[in-house]
Every structure is written in structure tokens, then in C-alpha cells.
Chains A and B, each alone.
Chain A
Amino acid sequence: EPEVTQTPSHQVTQMGQEVILRCVPISNHLYFYWYRQILGQKVEFLVSFYNNEISEKSEIFDDQFSVERPDGSNFTLKIRSTKLEDSAMYFCASAYRGNTEAFFGQGTRLTVV
């Protein structure tokens, strides 16, 4: 069964460093999303991406964040100058159409120290 894959599964970074979280969505999907979940809390929307551009972003997704689909298969989330409060589980998801089920990856646990 096709699945969304995310790498790495866990990343520890120093405060102020840049991190890149990687995702490989399901190959024929057109909509891509990044979410984050602070331990045990709500799943928060960050950004959606369609047709090679950002469709929508939340207030969390400020200039510190950026997304890219560099090569037609990978979908990356870059966090510049990480802060302690960026520590969370980051989930990538993809969907064939916007109104259909979204498939989530296993997540990347980011720990900022």
C-alpha cells in the first residue's frame, strides 16, 4: 500500500540552527500538507501546497518557515533559526484531491535544545 514517508524520524538540533524535514508524498497525490503536534496536544495546521505553490498557511507559518518541492517527489519543510518552542512532532500529509482523505507520514520528532 502506498505511504507517505518522512525523514528523519527524530532530529535533535541546537537552538538557532536550521533544520530541513523531508517528506515523500504518495506519487499521484496533488495536495501536500505540513502539520505539527506538540506532545499530547492538538494537531496544528502549518501549510498546504498545491500546484507548486502555497495554498494556505496558518499564523504559525511565519518567515521562519518555508516549504519546497524541489524535484517533483520530495516535499520539504525548512525551519530557520529554531527555537525551543519549535520542539514538536511534525507530520507531512498528502491527498489526491483536496476533499479526499489525507495520508499522513509517521512524523519527524524535532527536539530543539
Chain B
Amino acid sequence: GQQVMQIPQYQHVQEGEDFTTYCNSSTTLSNIQWYKQRPGGHPVFLIQLVKSGEVKKQKRLTFQFGEAKKNSSLHITATQTTDVGTYFCVENTGTASKLTFGTGTRLQVTL
């Protein structure tokens, strides 16, 4: 079935370093959402991207949707320990009745 792959699976950075996670699909995506899950927590919505080539920023987070709408990325500038968690890209299908989670990237930030 539909699988949305993310790389890397895991990344460990020092606080202050940048971090990027990439999301790739084999098919054209209708839109993409990003969620964050803190350790022991539940997924929390971050943002939705709809248009080809769209770029959105939230403070230190920059989200990008590829021109072909087959990939997306999340970049965090100057990571902080509060950024620790797993970041999931999530495809919202055209029927709007299913959210397909990517494989996730777990981010660990140490001082």
C-alpha cells in the first residue's frame, strides 16, 4: 500500500545545530501535514502544505513542499532541547478520509 518514507530514521544533534528531515512518496501527494510526537506523547499538528513548491515558516521551523508534490522537508534552525521528539509527515488522501503517517524521524538533542 501507500508508504511515505522519511529519512533519516534517527538523528542526534548538539543543541544549536540545525536539523532536517525529508519525506518522500512514490506518488503525487494531494497535500502534506507535519506532526510532532514528544516521547510518551501523542501526535500534535504542526502545519499543512498544499501548493507545489510551497514554503512555510514557524519561528525556527521551515517546511517545504516539493515542486512535483512528491516530497517535503522540515528544517529546524538552531535546535533546542524542546525540539526532541519524532517528526512525522502525514499524507492526507484526496478522499480526505485517511491520514497516512510517514515512517517518522526521531530527533534527539543534547546540550
Interface set of A (CB-CB < 8 Å, partner B): 31, 33, 35, 42-45, 48, 50, 55-56, 58-59, 91, 93, 97-107
Contact = CB atoms under 8 A, between A and B. Distances in A.
Interface string B59-102: 00000000000000000000000000000100010011111110
B104 A45 contact: no
Interface of B: 1, 31, 33, 37, 41-45, 48, 88, 92, 95-101, 103-104
Nearest to B50: A99
Given A42-B103, A99-B92, A101-B48, A56 B43 contact: no
28 contacts: A31-B96, A31-B97, A33-B99, A35-B101, A42-B104, A43-B88, A43-B101, A43-B104, A50-B97, A56-B95, A56-B97, A56-B98, A58-B1, A91-B42, A91-B43, A93-B43, A97-B96, A98-B92, A98-B95, A99-B92, A99-B96, A101-B45, A101-B48, A102-B33, A102-B43, A103-B45, A104-B43, A105-B42
A101 B96 contact: no
Given A42-B104, A91-B42, A101 B33 contact: yes
Contacts of B45: 101-103
Contacts of B48: 99-101
Contact of A98 (B1, B42, B88, B96): B96
Contacts of B95: 55-56, 98
